[in-house]
Amino acid sequence: MRRPRRPEDFRDYSVVENFSKREKDYNPSRGDDLALFFPSNYRVAASSLSFSWVRDLFSLYGVGVERFFYGESFRRFYSLESLRPIDEFRVIAFSYNFELDLLNIMDILKKLQIPLKWKERDEHHPLILVGGAMTYFNPSSVYPIADIIYRGDLETGIKDISDAVLLKVKREILDAMRMIPFVEIPRFEKRGKVAKFSDLNSLPPVGSVITPDGEFRNSFLIEIGRGCIRRCAFCMIGHLQKPARFLRTSVLDSVVKNIPRSVKIGLISATVTDYPWMDELLDLLEGRSFSVSSMRMDGLNLRLMRMLRESGQRSFTVAPEGGSQRVRDILKKDINEEHIERALILGRKAGFDSVKMYFIYGVSRESERDLAGISDITRVALKMGYRNVKLSLNPLIPKPGTPLVNDRMEDVKVLESKKKFLQGTLKIRGVKAHFESLKGSVVQYEIANATSEIAEEYVEIFNRFGKKSLKDFIYREHVNVKRGEKSGHIPFTTASRK
């Protein structure tokens, strides 16, 4: 494999090489048929089961695939598997999971000197295939960019997609893709329906790469549930991925038996506590070290919490979402104060003295009293004996496919006022409050709801001025539109705080 000659390229090569050496790859893949690109940094990419699972699916059907990740400072990109440069690949597949990934996808293509728009590419350019969570609900944001968009669960169409990728001629690949019902091809104005993999048990989603980096450090990842049985008004999963599907304990047992007992297990699901056979699951994990992706406060039990603590977990994470019952009801969270109190009590009984909680603010007609409830819950946790309480506070971002799709994101000035109020109430010893960037949240909102025409405008601006200017433009346009319209929200004034 050729090594880079320019010092700046060798720097990028060395960064990738370092991460590659830290990985333990149990199903190594090699080949230049497809570059699987996660348009986020390594830590974010490695926190996703699909970082290795998608690679393994393609490999299962004979596709030579290698993984890439994004670095803000990167000028060149090299694969984790063989440090192969990306310009050797005929197809680049982007896993588009978060709104801000769109900006990175454009940055990657521009650095590779690949025209951002599919209509400006020729036979010598690689095909750009886009899949991932963002394509489930609104693929319009990548319409100007993607040659091919795969919508939904890859397992459903993996054989057809693989057969198409293995064709050598660009036109032949596109013609083969046209026959797949879950594919959209903007140049042919072909629409695709969302694929849903009905049975996780026939092909259990299991990771094959273990890394000390990411949220699940040194863990073997297993997806035990896909979709969600809940109805949270702000979350797409509970509305776009129904019915929920779960890995049977008999299948999970066979997977777990093949994992060395010295290796930690990471369980992935929208809400692990909704797994229907929890007692059997805990029996399988008895004596093993494991962690979980997310838990609901009304689904915790003492045995689960104690086993997590025994696995070396120092803190646990839950999401009350709202500071008041009124807000939680608007968000359709379906938990109450008793659930919150009971969950915090269970955490203490299990030996935890640190907890992280997620909250949403910027909900329609929200008052100061609703917001003050966040600090009330925090103080309850401190009184119970928690020494460290971490809070993640995020503005409400109405998303397509949810009951809040017709709501507008609250005015930035109102959100800034609420943020300032919350910061004041949360200046409490032992409490760390992290607020998501309002500018970043606005950009997420606009990309999530973008039409193909708006996306075309985004590409033009990026082409001319770059990433920062595009983010500034999206934010500025959002603020200007909000100021010029009649808001459906009550201004956050003294009158609304009573």
Q: What is the pLDDT of residue 492?
A: 42
CATH of domain 300-498: 3.30.750.200
Given this model, what pLDDT does residue 405 score?
87
Neighbouring C-beta atoms of residue 406, cutoff 10 Å: 8
pLDDT reported for residue 5: 64
Hey, what CATH topology would domain 7-188 get? Answer: Rossmann fold (3.40.50)
The per-residue pLDDT for 238 is 80
For residue 4, what pLDDT is reported? 67
Judging by beta carbons within 10 Å of its beta carbon (0-12, 13-18, 19+), is residue 489 exposed, middle or buried? middle
Domain borders along the chain are 7-188, 216-294, 300-498
CATH number for the region 216-294 comes to 3.30.750.210
Fold equal for 7-188 and 216-294: no
pLDDT by residue, tens only, the chain of 498 residues: 556 667 667 899 999 999 999 999 999 889 999 999 999 999 999 999 999 999 999 999 999 999 999 999 999 999 999 999 999 999 999 999 999 999 999 999 999 999 999 999 999 999 999 999 999 888 999 999 999 999 999 999 999 999 999 998 999 999 999 999 999 999 999 999 999 887 899 999 999 999 999 999 999 999 999 999 999 999 988 887 778 999 999 999 999 999 998 999 999 999 999 999 999 999 999 999 999 999 999 999 999 999 999 999 999 999 999 999 999 999 999 999 999 999 999 999 999 999 999 999 999 889 999 999 999 999 999 999 999 999 999 999 999 989 988 888 999 999 999 999 999 999 999 999 999 999 999 999 999 999 999 999 999 999 999 999 999 999 999 988 754 554 333 344 333 333
Supply the pLDDT for residue 3.
63
* pLDDT value, residue 164: 98
